[in-house]
Chains A and B, each alone.
Chain A
Amino acid sequence: MESIYLDHAATTPVHPKVIEAMLPVTQEVYGNPSSVHQFGRKARRILDQARRTAAKSIGANEKEIVFTSGGTEADNLAIIGTAMANKEKGKHIITTNVEHHATLHAAEYLESTGFEVTYLPVDETGSVRVQDVKEALREDTILVSIMMVNNETGIMQPIEEVADLLKDHQAAFHSDIVQAYGLIEIDVQELAVDLLAVSGHKINGPKGVGFLYVREGTTLASLQHGGEQERKRRAGTENVPAVKGMEEAIMIILENRDAYREKYRSFKEQFLNTLTEESVNYTVNGSEDKCMESIVNISFPGTNVETMLTNFDLSGVAASSGSACTAGSVEPSHVLSAMYGKGDARTVNSIRFSFGLANTEENVKEAARKVSQIVHRLSE
């Protein structure tokens, strides 16, 4: 039985060219980029080059890129680092209740140390209202953190409007762009954000690497203490091979952006069409015209997530509920709860399918047929 991977929002296969790029670095470039000898310089050159590529990908300058161990660390550094550096200016933070846990739990941690956090709701389409952000803003607000694309639903948030709203406010604006980066064009010369968090492994790069964009002039306290790497913002010897791999991944995705988007759009369409042809009872969660091509979150009335995902896996289809698992048991999705209210059936009968390089037209349709069979069998 061939297994079909429809969970690219969780992580992606590493592109062969990425491996190719990393291999010689792993084999030969073992110097410490901070060292003052030629071995160190060789490693440092790789970092510098990658930093330029990362910066260019969003229209930033090199000094504004901090390499991290991934998206979670980038979010934590942005949120906790900003709060710690600006606590004299105020203790109020605004975010939404559909953020990734890397943001939500960082915010909760800050609450426990005396910060005040406003969690904005979303409407049924999955979007935050700009008006709500405006109303929540206070004089002592020091940070607003809103993700660009939701990892469970694929819904895009009105980041530009929020950025514009914040132009004349002291609050720093952070956006987790982990799910958007690469596919959505981002230019920090146009978009008035101060901080952006990116992960390498969501764009066919290696795991354990990511970066944070920090606009020049944004004050940030470092969370990790030690050496003076990353201009004192992130201590610890850089993961040079992984950074090299991420650089390659960035170049590949930027080059193929339009083709990928078109491909994933067509995968989504074929997946949904197949479900319809197979007479499956389903609804798509969130507004379809504000949704990323690569993600679709589907509610199957009358089913339950646990039984569905287990059955999918046993028949070779890998998807996820998008929500957190504790002791393996699935908690109702906090994102869908925010959209539809706690206790709504959709919070426990919805599955996230996400498309990427592991997919072909054929395996997407095949997966949809398997999903259909299981849904029919379980609703007998």
Chain B
Amino acid sequence: MKEPKDTRVVVGMSGGVDSSVAALMLKQQGYDVVGIFMKNWDDTDENGVCTATEDYEDVIRVCNQLDIPYYAVNFEKQYWDKVFTYFLEEYKKGRTPNPDVMCNKEIKFKAFLDHAMSLGADYLATGHYAQVRENDGVYEMLRGVDHNKDQTYFLNQLSQDVLEKVMFPLGHLEKKEVRRMAEENDLATAKKKDSTGICFIGERNFKDFLSEYLPAQPGNMETLDGEVKGKHDGLMYYTLGQRQGLGIGGAGDPWFVVGKNVEDNILYVGQGFHHDALYSDGLIASEAGWTKGEAPTEPFKATAKFRYRQQDSGVTVEPLEDGRLKVTFDEPERAITPGQAVVFYDGDVCLGGATIDTVLKEEEAVTYVG
């Protein structure tokens, strides 16, 4: 093991408080720290200000406070090809993709990691809330100690060759502790608001954003029995379990999206948060990745998350012969959404994850969820 001062750590810096504190901590620990800002998206706001320029300015300010070199790297093309194209394709299919999982897999922990290594780095560090632990030469990824901020859901596709090269300095901290450290050290980003939503959309209206790239095809909103309840603006604007923006009035419980028929361009709606059509008892997932490297061959029990910031649920995972996974829930689950990730845990260890393809109810594929 090299001394920290001889160990070069490239920190992916976004201009936010988390990556700023990650850099601060590594610097305090004596590493040879290099801050790098990654530009993945070309964007200019309504005042003609490029949001990336503003963020990079913050990176520069923090790096100067820490007295570490800073650089930027541009992955706009790779991001467009690997993440954004996938994002649009998924929406076209009526699914709800998770671009952050793809960005981590293809950009941050692939293209960017390669870039860091080409600069002679020993490690790549980010401000993610997750932990890496080595166990007899095997690297395990654990949830961040702050379970509310835990980001292993988005990191589920990281593999051994990546985990051995990454550091998550914030993994053992609570978010409020991170803020406190930023303030104590008077970092330029200490009071900066956390970013929300999908990075390339930012604070903009999601619907407006998507309509710039995909043609919206309005159609009917119907109950599963075929009763027309109104018009929808385009299937891509809705996700399963959604209540807002349906505009169906009348008596009784509120209305929810319960399914999509891409072929006939119908949005299925149902009454009540707990509408029966929203519940399922299993799923089929593909594109599985396993953090410890080896794919399981036998069925096993685990807990799982089907979307970010959800409580874990008990499941049984059964590897299928074609490489896909069949996941059976201990209890019925609400609004399982094709395109999202299903991520598996054994206690605090994130085992890996896969992309939800098919939703199952009593062993049958649910056909109305797209």
Q: Give A325 to B72 CA distance when docked, in angstroms.
A: 9
For A327, give its contact among B36, B50, B115, B118 (CB under 8 Å). B50
Q: Give A307 to B34 CA distance when docked, in angstroms.
A: 13
User: What residue in chain B is nearest A311 (Cβ atoms)?
Assistant: B119
Q: Distance (Å) between the CB of A274 and the closest chain B CB?
A: 22
The answer to whether A345 has its CB under 8 Å from any CB of chain B is no
The answer to whether A102 has its CB under 8 Å from any CB of chain B is no
The answer to whether A324 has its CB under 8 Å from any CB of chain B is no
B71 pairs with A327, CB closer than 8 A: no
Q: Given the complex, which residues of B lie within 8 Å of A310, measured CB to CB?
A: 36, 71, 73, 119
The answer to whether A258 has its CB under 8 Å from any CB of chain B is no
Q: Give A244 to B275 CA distance when docked, in angstroms.
A: 82
Q: Distance (Å) between the CB of B122 and the closest chain A CB?
A: 13
The answer to whether A259 has its CB under 8 Å from any CB of chain B is no
A306 pairs with B73, CB closer than 8 A: yes
B118 pairs with A307, CB closer than 8 A: yes
A311 pairs with B118, CB closer than 8 A: yes
Known contacts being A306-B74, A310-B71, A313-B71, is A326 close to B50, with CB within 8 Å? yes
Q: Distance (Å) between the CB of A378 and the closest chain B CB?
A: 6
Say what secondary structure dominates the interface of chain A. Answer: helix
Q: Give A309 to B39 CA distance when docked, in angstroms.
A: 17
A314 pairs with B37, CB closer than 8 A: no
User: What residue in chain A is nearest B71 (Cβ atoms)?
Assistant: A310
Q: Considering the complex, which residues of chain B in the window 224-262 have a beta carbon less than 8 Å from any beta carbon of chain A?
A: none
The answer to whether B323 has its CB under 8 Å from any CB of chain A is no
Q: Given the complex, which residues of A lie within 8 Å of B37, measured CB to CB?
A: 327-328
Q: Considering the complex, which residues of chain B in the window 66-81 have a beta carbon less than 8 Å from any beta carbon of chain A?
A: 69-74, 76
Q: Given the complex, which residues of A lie within 8 Å of B52, measured CB to CB?
A: 327
The answer to whether B347 has its CB under 8 Å from any CB of chain A is no
The answer to whether B56 has its CB under 8 Å from any CB of chain A is yes
B73 pairs with A329, CB closer than 8 A: yes
A378 pairs with B118, CB closer than 8 A: yes
How many residues of chain B get a CB closer than 8 Å to chain A's CBs?
21
The answer to whether B120 has its CB under 8 Å from any CB of chain A is yes
The answer to whether A330 has its CB under 8 Å from any CB of chain B is yes
B74 pairs with A329, CB closer than 8 A: yes
Q: Distance (Å) between the CB of B50 and the closest chain A CB?
A: 6
Q: Distance (Å) between the CB of A164 and the closest chain B CB?
A: 42
B39 pairs with A329, CB closer than 8 A: yes
Q: Considering the complex, which residues of chain B in the window 81-118 have a beta carbon less than 8 Å from any beta carbon of chain A?
A: 115, 118
Q: Give A306 to B70 CA distance when docked, in angstroms.
A: 12
A327 pairs with B119, CB closer than 8 A: no
Q: Given the complex, which residues of A lie within 8 Å of B55, measured CB to CB?
A: 327
Q: Give A192 to B76 CA distance when docked, in angstroms.
A: 47
Q: Considering the complex, which residues of chain A in the window 243-283 have a beta carbon less than 8 Å from any beta carbon of chain B?
A: none
B34 pairs with A314, CB closer than 8 A: yes
The answer to whether B53 has its CB under 8 Å from any CB of chain A is yes
Binary interface encoding of chain A residues 336-366 relative to chain B, with 1 for a CB under 8 A from any of its CBs, else 0: 0000000000000000000000000000000
Known contacts being A307-B115, A311-B119, A314-B119, is A327 close to B72, with CB within 8 Å? yes
Q: Distance (Å) between the CB of B45 and the closest chain A CB?
A: 13
Q: Distance (Å) between the CB of A361 and the closest chain B CB?
A: 28
Q: Distance (Å) between the CB of B309 and the closest chain A CB?
A: 30
Binary interface encoding of chain B residues 18-38 relative to chain A, with 1 for a CB under 8 A from any of its CBs, else 0: 000000000000000010110
For B119, give its contact among A307, A328, A330 (CB under 8 Å). A307
User: What residue in chain A is nearest B37 (Cβ atoms)?
Assistant: A328
Q: Distance (Å) between the CB of B157 and the closest chain A CB?
A: 25
Q: Give A328 to B115 CA distance when docked, in angstroms.
A: 15
A314, A325, A330 — which one has the most chain B CB atoms within 10 A of its CB? A314
Q: Give A62 to B71 CA distance when docked, in angstroms.
A: 45
A313 pairs with B53, CB closer than 8 A: no
B119 pairs with A326, CB closer than 8 A: no
Q: Given the complex, which residues of B lie within 8 Å of A307, measured CB to CB?
A: 73, 115, 118-119
What are 13 residue pairs bridging A and B, where the CB atoms are less than 8 Å apart in the complex? A306-B73, A307-B119, A310-B71, A313-B69, A314-B69, A314-B119, A314-B120, A327-B39, A327-B53, A327-B56, A329-B73, A329-B74, A378-B118
B interface, CB within 8 angstroms of A: 34, 36-37, 39, 50, 52-53, 55-56, 59, 69-74, 76, 115, 118-120
- Besides A306-B71, A310-B36, A329-B72, 18 other CB < 8 A contacts? A306-B72, A307-B118, A307-B119, A310-B71, A314-B34, A314-B69, A314-B120, A326-B53, A327-B37, A327-B55, A327-B56, A327-B72, A328-B39, A328-B71, A329-B73, A329-B76, A330-B74, A378-B118
A interface, CB within 8 angstroms of B: 306-307, 309-311, 313-314, 325-330, 378
For the complex of A and B, 4 pairs with smallest distance between CB atoms: A328-B72, A329-B74, A327-B52, A327-B56
